[in-house]
Structure 1
Amino acid sequence: MKRASLISVVAMAGISAIALAGCTSGDGGGDAGATRACVILPDAASSPRWETLDRKYLQEGLEAAGFEVDIQNAQGDTNKYATIADQQLTQGCGVMLLVDHQGAAVAVAEKASGEGIPVIAYDRPIEGADYYVSFDNFQVGALEGQSIVDGLEAAGKDPATAVVVYMGGDPADGNAAMFRDGAVSVMEAAGITPAAEPPGIWDGDKSATNFEQALTSLGGVVDAVWAANDTNAAGVITILDKNGLTVPVSGQDASIAGLQNVLLGKQTATVYKPVKLEADAAVETAVALLKGETPEADQELEDGTPYIAVTPVLVGPEQVKDVVDAGDADVAELCTGDVAAKCEEYGIS
């Protein structure tokens, strides 16, 4: 996507949020819980976005719309997830916005529904949720797969004979299968089959270990790595560096580490999911539910859950500046060490 197009999309999201805030009274009526949005984030390890971006945008959007907000993080603990939910439900919620963690949100959604509280599955699908708000996850995977195909062709490798390792996400995360399906749809069409595919995980250190074992089993030969996100990609890249290898590697989230690896040429691209767009869509959905309205959805999951899908963007070195300009990456944090020269090369300041 061209820079002007990306900026216009983000700008439109901002206009939408302002308009939403201006037309919402937030008086809610009834008990105090009817005007409270309860949010549970999953952790801070699978991606830095939950605390650095999602919390901020959800808090600002819901408060601007005139509602109380309770956002808590389960810190990767399913028991803590359940405890937070019980506390929030006791205090009262007009809507629950949940990011699942290893299935913990399923029981919470069931309990909330039993109390007549609508549930929004945010970013990750949840069985029993009333709405699902996320990026188009199949398209996220398709963009990753295309970056691998393009990277192989740029390196003069035939995708049909290339040695490609698949490093997927945690199968307990409902999005992981969608990412893989999207990536495979593109890679298989180009003739790619996985030479190795370790168990999926959202963990950089474990991905490094799993990839090193896979690389050893392949005799140290690899032509590309489909990595489901930037955290997994970073683990893979540590092993590639250790072995003096540079091959196409995919990723998503446009994390600082991911963007740095893209600029350094160690990661072919990252799929940028402008979190503000997703958060704004979730805020709009939550506000509609808090006001007793029916949100509009453009897709459905296989189980019939209404799915509000947001479009992702592929980011290579030339598009990193767009992420910075959109406010989702800090120059001082990004342009350090060896990356500083690359920032200057690509006009990032």
Structure 2
Amino acid sequence: MNVRRRTLAVFTAGLVLSLSACGGGGAGSTDGGSSAPADPADITVGVAMPTQTSERWIADGNAVKAGLEKAGYKVDLQYANDDIPTQQQQIDQMITKGDDLLILAAIDGTALAGQLDAAKAAGVKVISYDRLIRDSANVDFYVSFDNYKVGVQQGTSLLTGLGLLNADGSKGTATGPFNVELFAGSLDDNNAGFFWNGAFDTIKPFIDSGQIVVKSGQTKIDEAATLRWQQEVAQKRMEDLLTSAYSDGSKVDGVLSPYDGISRGIITALQNAGYGTGGQKMPIITGQDAEIASVKLINDGVQYATIFKDTRKLAEQAITASEAYLDGKEPEANDTTTYDNGVKVVPSFLLQSDIVYKDNITSLLVDTGYYTQAEVDAGQAS
């Protein structure tokens, strides 16, 4: 049995107790609603996830569904396989069928305004899950991680790997210059900008000092973007960079990557070019989501780091916010200033993430029950 499913069973059992309690922490409201809550068995929550091609979205969908069902709700979980019209149709159907609340992880954060208008007209609250939905006043709440800080952590892990910083954040002994290339996420995902800004703000002083050199000259997010976060798109761009900027025999020392799937595409391109063999060491490569295949690469010394965003905690906050709305209350936000979607600042609950290096895989991922050691060794969830 997958250890995350075992952990989820414990997590959801505890969550049911917390949801039935009065008050409490997290995203739950502590103000007293006057209306009696409906029977959970009579309530359906629509959950729209972007794709099943990424293990993290499968884990998110399963965690949200299991937690809501343990709390007694019916769940309408849909995956759209990264196809925008499919996701629009799925959400339209959720509203038409009478789903009472929506939890939406958008493929394209700008493509759901019509669906949110329909939800508002039907009196259905909308929780934007991890990816902020833009250009609509009808986003009621946002649950995510501190995405600017995620970018800062990615930049920090790159600098640490290069030796420009020590693990404690102090100045490292390395001086450079180091050749570094930059990758960003998909521009239709609002989070991509936060990741990029956090990372770029962190490494820019080292670019300005000449300790980091971006040989390709591609230092703008639109130049570095990776459509739909796709591994093969990242691999092709890395191949092109090697051909165009490194044909003089110079070497890549580091790559800023915002997501593990992108990292694996970059690694494939580098390995095909001879990196990691014949005395050519692999560059310092960052990542995000602690996908099991990339955790193994970190454990094996191929990828340097990733960012762990514990989806169990994210699912818990989405469920807690849902419970508040379904009880006629307002969820508790811990950020009411950062996430402007172009129409309004969306009240948000932000979680904290961690940098995963080889030496803390056990403490962050194994000891917490997210993976087993056997899964880490195999690079595959059981």
- TM value normalised by structure 1: 0.85
Contact 1:133 1:307 in 2 (8 A): yes
Among 42, 48, 51, the alignment partner of 2:55 is: 48
| CA distance 1:148–1:20, shift in 2 (3 Å) | same
Letter matched to residue 196 of structure 2 = R
SS at match of 1:335: helix
Deviation >6 Å, runs of 4+: 12-16, 30-33
Alpha-carbon distance, 1:15 to partner? 8.6
Further displaced range: 213-222 or 228-237: 213-222
Larger Rg: 2
Structure 2: distance between partners of 1:92 and 1:65: 19
Among 288, 295, 303, the alignment partner of 1:252 is: 288
Letter matched to residue 177 of structure 1 = G
Alignment size in residue pairs: 323
Is 1:131 the counterpart of 2:133? The answer is no
| CA distance 1:328–1:108, shift in 2 (3 Å) | farther
Is 1:166 the counterpart of 2:182? The answer is yes
Which structure dedicates a bigger proportion of its chain to helix? 1
Partner residue in 1 for 2:366 = 324
Alpha-carbon distance, 1:146 to partner? 0.2
Contact 1:99 1:105 in 2 (8 A): no
Is 1:178 the counterpart of 2:219? The answer is no
Partner residue in 2 for 1:344 = none
Structure 2: distance between partners of 1:249 and 1:335: 20
Structure 2: distance between partners of 1:281 and 1:31: 18
Further displaced range: 147-156 or 244-253: 147-156
Cα RMSD of the aligned pairs, angstroms, is 2.7
Is 1:227 the counterpart of 2:233? The answer is no
Is 1:148 the counterpart of 2:155? The answer is no
Partner residue in 2 for 1:203 = 230
Is 1:88 the counterpart of 2:94? The answer is yes
Alpha-carbon distance, 1:297 to partner? 0.5
Alpha-carbon distance, 1:16 to partner? 6.3
| CA distance 1:238–1:157, shift in 2 (3 Å) | farther
Alpha-carbon distance, 1:158 to partner? 3.1
- TM value normalised by structure 2: 0.78
Deviations 1:296-346 (A, max 9, x none): 11113133110110000111112212313333224444313xx79xxxxxx
| CA distance 1:18–1:158, shift in 2 (3 Å) | farther
Structure 2: distance between partners of 1:149 and 1:137: 19
SS at match of 2:178: coil
Structure 1: distance between partners of 2:12 and 2:354: 18
Alpha-carbon distance, 1:65 to partner? 2.0
SS at match of 1:75: coil
Structure 2: distance between partners of 1:123 and 1:335: 29
| CA distance 1:13–1:312, shift in 2 (3 Å) | farther
Alpha-carbon distance, 1:254 to partner? 0.4
Structure-to-structure mapping, 1:8-23, within 5 angstroms: 17-23=15-21
Letter matched to residue 208 of structure 1 = Q
Alpha-carbon distance, 1:258 to partner? 1.2
Letter matched to residue 335 of structure 1 = D
Structure 2: distance between partners of 1:99 and 1:327: 25
Partner residue in 1 for 2:273 = 243
Contact 1:271 1:314 in 2 (8 A): yes
Structure 2: distance between partners of 1:207 and 1:239: 9
Deviations 1:204-258 (A, max 9, x none): 1110111110122112531110001000000001122222321110000000111
Alpha-carbon distance, 1:21 to partner? 3.8
Higher relative contact order (CA 8 A, sep 6+): 2
